[in-house]
Structure 1
Amino acid sequence: MTHTNDTLIQAAGCVLWRSSPVDGEPEICLVHRPKYDDWSHPKGKLKRGEDHLTGALREVAEESGYTADPGTELSTLRYFTGGRPKQVRYWAAEAISGSFTPSLEVDRILWLSPAAARSRLTQYRDRTLVDELLATLRHA
């Protein structure tokens, strides 16, 4: 099967977290995209000439409204979308400051416990990133 455009889509994102204001446990930010009606980690395509980490932090700011402090690089997810290969590099990133404003791209965000985030994520492949984040936080 040949694809008319099999160019790799380069994207990046973060597993955005903060310490819960209630109990100090980690909370994970998920974004809801009305176009796909899905819950995911903030991520998006790189701009021309943009490096992955810069793109990941830009996407976090655009989609969640938060400035993030990047930590450990997590797994790179690879999958097909619209018949094209896509590669998304992820980092653990702590939310430092900011606040959410709904947009056409992202209409809601949720701060959830890791267990709740894992079950709310639409794509099964995104769930392993939650476990990776927790592992990096435990070893921090």
Structure 2
Amino acid sequence: MARTPVLAAGGIVLRQAEPPLVAVVRLRKGNEWCLPKGKLDHGETPRAAAEREVMEETGHDVAVHEFLGTLAYETRGGPKVVHYWRMEAGHTPVRELMRDVKAVDWLPLGEAVERLSRGYERAFLQQVGPMAMAAANGLAQVDVSIDRAAEPRRVETSRDFQPWPRSLMQRMRDWLRRAV
């Protein structure tokens, strides 16, 4: 029997600069760098959870824009599904970081991709980051150069990662239709 996935939401958070900067957070637990995100509270919509979690983890008020995609992966506790929106943050924080977060760094896209600890988050940001940058600049397409000097780079996944069973994929599709 497949476990019900943990539902979470977060953001690809941009701050205006030249070049634009992307937020990555360093967690105290595991000392890992990741994209800002967190679990939905009971009755909370994914978009509302994304806004709340990003504010808690970065300390910045954010403007939430278009939906960018979903990342699904396996954790020790079972499957996790995270929905991401493009967000824009102001230059100064409005609150202290939650205690689970050790630090926030604002980096150009290529450096943000490299900083992330998890291979699946690196791959996700490498794919949707240029689209988020283009949308933030009001462009249909933009050439955002990611430092490719380190390529080819193997994207690592959890060694116990298994493809999703059909029944779980169908439940996630049904949930997405209702939630987004």
- Where on the TM-score scale, by shorter chain, does this alignment land: which range? 0.7 to 0.9
Partner of 2:96: 101
List alignment gaps of at least 5 residues for structure 2. 139-180
What's the CA shift for 1:11? 0.3
What's the CA shift for 1:83? 4.3
Determine if the alignment matches structure 1 residue 13 to structure 2 residue 18: no
Partner of 1:84: 78
CA distance in 2, matches of 1:15, 1:131: 12
What's the CA shift for 1:135? 1.9
CA 1:135–1:103: 2 relative to 1, 3 Å: closer
Aligned counterpart in structure 1 of residue 64 of structure 2, from 61, 70, 92? 70
List alignment gaps of at least 5 residues for structure 1. none
TM-score, normalising length: structure 2: 0.69
Partner of 1:26: 20
Higher relative contact order (CA 8 A, sep 6+): 1
> Is the strand fraction higher in 1 or 2?
1
Q: Highest CA radius of gyration, 1 or 2?
A: 2
Amino acid at match of 1:108: A
TM-score, normalising length: structure 1: 0.87
Partner of 2:129: 133
Aligned counterpart in structure 1 of residue 38 of structure 2, from 37, 41, 44? 44
What's the CA shift for 1:102? 4.2
What RMSD, in angstroms, separates the aligned Cα atoms of the two structures?
1.8
